[in-house]
Amino acid sequence: MNAPAISNESAPAHTIANQSFGIQGSYLFGAAQTFLVQIDFKRYRFPHDAFQKTQFCDPGPGCTTVNALGQYQTGVCPGPDPGCVTAVGANLIGKQTGSAQEYVTAFNGIDTDVDLRAALKILPHTYAGVGAYFKHYSYLGFPNIRGVGIGISKLPNLDKQLSLFASVWYYPAVTGNYTYPVSPYLGPFSGQTVPFGYSVLKYRAGATFWLTQTNLFLEAGWAGEFFRATINTPVSGWTEGSFFGIGTRFP
């Protein structure tokens, strides 16, 4: 990925996700290449900024933020500082604590996702089927989430020097279980587990250029993911950007 833009609960819209990359592989088999199995892997690394100076403190006025380890720290929210992050189950927590946000010090977050697909040919180089989606977060104690969905992939024709490709896959319920920190400030939510999830739409489109008399090809295009908050997730988000790379085909 060529420095894609990202927007989520920890990063405002159009934050640049550096050190990001993706890998995709496809395998065709059966008579007339009737069946497709495919893997799509992506990794995004992005900064979460925070400008207030914070320190650990005893709970009380001015000391109401609880981090993922259940430790209290200073930090005033809500406010314009990007360190203010919407909490999981904001409506629930807001009623209990008086604030639907918590102050989170600066960090570099990593989102890693992979989906595995199995599909049948419906048109030349075009396949429709089902997929399984998995996502891992490196921050805020967010859980691993997973779900199943449907989609369509139009593969490039690598027998031609220039060919187009595209795919759209939709996962309506990608879910996991989030556990709140253990803290008396959270009242009945202290250490409790709640469902956590999104619906996810992934797309990818571009072109390949076969390097004549080799098994290699170049590719370039645009790819993205949209996450719609569904169950206790703080906000909806997205990631998108251009990509370019090199691939190979096996005889």
Residue 1 pLDDT = 67
Q: Which residue has the higher pLDDT, 94 or 157?
A: 157
Residue 174 pLDDT = 98
Write out pLDDT tens, residues 38-56. 999 999 999 999 888 878 8
Instruction: Name the maximum alpha-carbon separation found in the chain.
Output: 71
d(CA 218, CA 196): 39
Q: What is the 3-state secondary structure (H, E, C) of 63-131?
A: ECEECCCCCEECCCCCCCCCCEEECCCHHHHHHHHCCCEEECCCEEEEEEEEEEEEEEEEECCEEEEEE
Alpha helices in the chain (DSSP H): 90-97
Read off the pTM.
0.90
Domains observed in the chain: 5-50+108-248 (2.40.128)
Write out pLDDT tens, residues 96-152. 777 788 888 888 999 999 999 999 999 999 999 999 999 999 998 899 999 999 999
Averaged confidence pLDDT in the chain: 90
pLDDT at residue 248 above 80? yes
